[in-house]
A = this chain, B = another copy of it.
Amino acid sequence: MGFLYTKNFNEQKERAMEGLRKALAEDKVDHDIIPLLEKINALDNYFTTSSCSGRISVMEMPHFGDKLNSLWLGKWHGEVVVEEVLEAVGRHSRGQLWFLVRSPILHVAAKTMEDAVKLLNLAIGLGFKYSNVKSISHKKLLVEIRSTERMDVPLGEDGELWIDEEYIGRIVNLANAQVRRFKGKLKRLEEEIARFNSQAP
């Protein structure tokens, strides 16, 4: 049984931080989540391994769930205006066309099981209700921080649209409300993580 703590945690963290610095340099990290990542990585017993600040997107896929052959026609990490979405929808040509909202997702490695549970409980308490422990081994204890906001709306197939522009306006409004909601949760998490830090022994 090696589930109580992560072996070589500090070496792993060093490698992860190197990867993060590279991703930041290449502008591959969602901007509005960077301060939160920095606050988590400032804690001795945690480091981030991947993150997405949440998004609205328009996606073409051969069939649902086939991510490998999917194509983003539009992707936004904040609120959108209907014209942007219509423009993306206009680029549709084949496969299934979907309008999607995905909540923020953060993967955070923890040094000990106690650290993992502490972060998990904080996240759930702040409204990240789908948070969980993603993987558990002596190689890694990974906490997944995830919220409930989500939309999966089929818009058409093989170039044909099933809905009208007015409908797209409606779902854009709903999606923007979800974005405001999860951005608020991210902000609160950032504040609480900063407090986490100062309480560390």
Contact = CB atoms under 8 A, between A and B. Distances in A.
A94 interface: no
The secondary structure that dominates the A interface is: mixed
Interface in A165-182: 166-167, 170-171, 174, 177-178, 181
B148 A65 contact: yes
Contact of A113 (B3, B153, B170): B3
Nearest to A173: B154
Interface stretch (A7-15, A17-25, A48-56, A132-140): A132-140
A167 B151 CA distance: 17
Contacts of A166: 162
Contacts of A177: 63-64
Contacts of A154: 151, 153, 170-171, 174
Interface of A: 1, 3-4, 63-65, 96, 113-114, 116-117, 120, 132-137, 144, 148-154, 157, 162-163, 166-167, 170-171, 174, 177-178, 181
